Amino acid sequence: MPDEDLTNDDGQETPVTPDEEKPARSDNRFKDLSEKVQTTAKERDEAKQAAEAAQKEVEFYKGFSKVSSKYEGAADYQDKILEKVNSGYDLEDATISVLAKAGKLTNAPVQRQSPAGGSASTSMRGDDDKPVSEMTSAEKREKLMEMERESPGSLSQTLRSISL
């Protein structure tokens, strides 16, 4: 454009608008910026996925020693168990699945005792009578029906004595 004559017929210069001056340059600039944003977002997502995968692997190795001591032969199938864990399985479920598929599941997991601690015994009572305050309404009704079956008319006598 510098080679062109910018004067009009009256001899005055015509002003050059910014749109005429830099259209190609601004388009390239926006295109470059959008590419940079996309590249940065992609790199951030990849880094986040790598960090999550590393965290899962660390958690796997922390828990694997406990599980391998519980199940014989689990150490031989560590890679397959890791694949299952990475695909979404729980560590113990993955171990059982892999060992069962390989036919190496020899012992079932040890059944744990009740997690509730304490020194009080929790034995079930047999035919001992509960106090009325501890009975549910269904138990109270059943007890009254039993009393009526044992001695007919005793229920009505009991109700009369209470209403006095």
Residue 42 has pLDDT above 90, yes or no: yes
Q: Looking at the domain assignment, is residue 29 inside a domain?
A: yes
CA atoms of 60 and 78, how far apart (whole Å):
10
- Residue 140 lies in domain: 135-162
Whole-prediction pTM: 0.40
Domain count for the chain, please give it: 2
What pLDDT, in 10s, does the model give residues 109-140?
Answer: 555 566 565 565 555 555 567 787 888 888 88
Q: Is residue 69 part of a domain?
A: yes
Residue among 60, 55, 62 at smallest CA distance from 98: 60
pLDDT of residue 127: 55
Inform me whether the pLDDT recorded for 146 exceeds 80. yes
